Amino acid sequence: MESHRQTLRMNDASVPTSLPSRFVDLIQTKVPARAEHFMAQLYGEHALRLRDSTALDMRMQGFQLAGLHVARLSYGAPASASMTRSHPGWVFSFLESGRVARMAGGRVFGPGEASILAPDRLHELEMSADMQLLNLRVSDADMRQACTD
């Protein structure tokens, strides 16, 4: 029995207390046109409107793992964003801080809430300056494959 306790203690000590992050800086910009262009490349055609374009401080960190794209996003300014066309993937969003409101229907999301955006759904969102969002994006084909397996 003593040797079992010894093994547990050694294993407990070998478990790291924090794992290294895979997140890398993808973009940091104060230029609205650059932010809009970057978001369009990543999520499909995008329109970004700012109440005060001088306040923009867009930051995105993320990583790609197989077909999954993970990104943490903030604009640092009150902003509205809309998808103008269908997009190529499913987006699962988790709001870490701030507020996001869907313009259609008026649904307001707060910290700790999540939503799913299907590829054929267009949306228009209004975001608070302190909004920080964690997005997981996966292609429609990968999602369909995962659901049939």
Task: Return contacts of 96-99, CB within 8 angstroms, 24+ apart.
Answer: 96/72, 96/132, 96/133, 96/134, 97/130, 97/131, 97/132, 98/74, 98/127, 98/128, 98/129, 98/130, 98/131, 98/132, 99/127, 99/128, 99/130, 99/131
pLDDT at 53: 65
3-state secondary structure the chain: CHHHHHHHHHHHHHCCCCCCCCCEEEEEECCHHHHHHHHHHHHCCEEEEECCHHHCCEEEEEEEECCEEEEEEECCCCEEEEECCCCCEEEEEEEEECCEEECCCCCEECCCCEEEECCCCCCEEEECCCCEEEEEEEEHHHHHHHHHC
pTM: 0.79
pLDDT at 38: 92
pLDDT at 103: 84
- pLDDT 10s digit of each residue in the chain, 149 long? 444 444 444 445 555 555 567 889 999 999 999 999 998 888 888 888 887 767 899 999 999 988 899 999 999 999 999 887 887 789 999 999 999 998 877 899 999 999 998 888 878 899 999 999 999 999 888 888 888 87
